[in-house]
Structure 1
């Protein structure tokens, strides 16, 4: 059995107001621990992807804060203590300092992370 904690997971993406730690856990899936500061909008790093939105599905749990998720269909707000499924085609924005853990297909997540890194320079 393999286990992972936020502390033993390498930083995959770091920028103003955001820290993402990412580790492949097997079965074609990865776990990502994300911290976002209040006001952090991830839409700018998603520019250039289809519809300028993240195309990777995520299953996760918000442990702290509030996140507004924008999609082509509208917006939804998630609060600490909620589990979520974010389908492909979304852009999160932190309404408060937030922390969440998500599970995603490694291949799709790696593509989004590489794109975000390129956008950050």
Structure 2
């Protein structure tokens, strides 16, 4: 079974609003993302259908809180 850890994943996004480490494991992309401050990703999804990412997501928030806008409304995590 494939596995990874945050310290093994390469840093592919290093921006003021997000640091992202990503690894491909079989048919999955595993990501470790750190947001040092509140961020709104709406601009990144402009032009996509409904202005949203079309990929399914599963995740865990450690620590902190996350709000996301989806077709069914806004959801809070954490």
Hey, what does 1:37 align to over in structure 2? 36
- Cα separation, 2, equivalents of 1:2 and 1:68: 30
Higher strand share: 1
Distance 2:72 2:30 in 1: 27
SS in 1 for 2:58: strand
The separation in 2 between residues aligned to 1:31 and 1:72, in whole angstroms, is 23
Structure 2 CA distance, aligned partners of 1:51 and 1:12?
Answer: 27
CA RMSD of aligned residues (A): 1.4
Give the equivalent residue in structure 1 for 2:10. Answer: 10
What is the aligned length?
78
Which aligned runs of 4 or more in structure 1 are off by greater than 4 angstroms?
Answer: none
Structure 1: 5+ residue runs without aligned partners?
80-121
TM-score by length of 1: 0.58
Q: When you count helix as a share of all residues, which structure comes out higher?
A: 1
- Larger relative contact order (C-alpha < 8 A, sep ≥ 6)? 1
